[in-house]
């Protein structure tokens, strides 16, 4: 699992890889955790960390992840932005994951504000908004609605405002 969540106002990368034996490596930002006894039943996840047992219920949508343990409740916004392709330059957004272009939200030439949705990408059975990394103008879209893209594929030609 790989995601980017807004935690305490900061965009943080979250990754988890679970082995067949129920052990996992979880990384939240720069912090790494080794967990054991990982089990998933429906929307619930249980595991052990440093000798203590935990059980959480998870609910995820395209724009957030909710976590509750029955005593507390946390909601984390997903951060889905195109990444800059070093070869293409800072004015082009690329895909972070394989998926299908569901909807192109703006016409080429549209002026946008930072964070404004530019297109919707379906990936991992969820819809993800790809948002403008800064104020600027949409120059074009190299893929049509319904087309498949792979990580690193150009999604939006974007010209940042000066």
The torsion of the CA quartet 79, 134, 89, 97, rounded to 10 degrees, works out to 20
Contacts of 13-19 with C-beta under 8 Å, sequence gap 24+, read none
The torsion of the CA quartet 47, 39, 73, 116, rounded to 10 degrees, works out to 110
Residue ranges per structural domain of the chain: 2-78, 83-160
Residue given tokens 């792979």 in the structure block: 150
Q: Give the per-residue pLDDT at 4.
A: 84
89 HSE (CA, 13 A, CB side): 5
Which tokens in the block code for residue 134? 């800064």
67-121: pLDDT as tens digits: 888 888 787 878 866 533 333 344 458 887 788 999 999 999 999 998 899 999 9
106-124: pLDDT as tens digits: 999 999 998 899 999 988 7
Q: Give the per-residue pLDDT at 131.
A: 87
Q: pTM of the full predicted structure?
A: 0.47
Instruction: Match domain 83-160 to its CATH number in 2.60.40.1840, 3.40.630.10, 2.40.50.100, 3.40.50.720.
Output: 2.40.50.100
């Amino acid at each position: 699992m790989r995601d980017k969540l807004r935690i305490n106002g900061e965009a943080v990368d979250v990754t988890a890889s679970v082995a067949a034996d129920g052990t996992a490596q979880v990384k939240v930002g720069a912090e790494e955790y080794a967990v054991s006894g990982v089990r998933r039943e429906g929307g619930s996840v249980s595991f052990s960390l440093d000798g203590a047992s935990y059980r959480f219920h998870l609910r995820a949508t395209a724009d957030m992840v909710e976590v509750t343990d029955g005593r507390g409740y946390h909601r984390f916004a997903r951060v889905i932005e195109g990444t800059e392709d070093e070869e293409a330059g800072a004015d082009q957004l690329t895909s972070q994951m394989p998926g299908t272009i569901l909807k192109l939200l703006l016409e080429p030439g549209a002026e946008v504000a930072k964070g404004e949705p530019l297109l919707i990408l379906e990936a991992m059975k969820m819809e993800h908004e790809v948002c403008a990394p800064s104020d600027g103008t949409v120059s074009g879209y190299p893929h049509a609605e319904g087309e498949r893209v792979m990580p690193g594929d150009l999604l939006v030609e974007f010209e940042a405002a000066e």
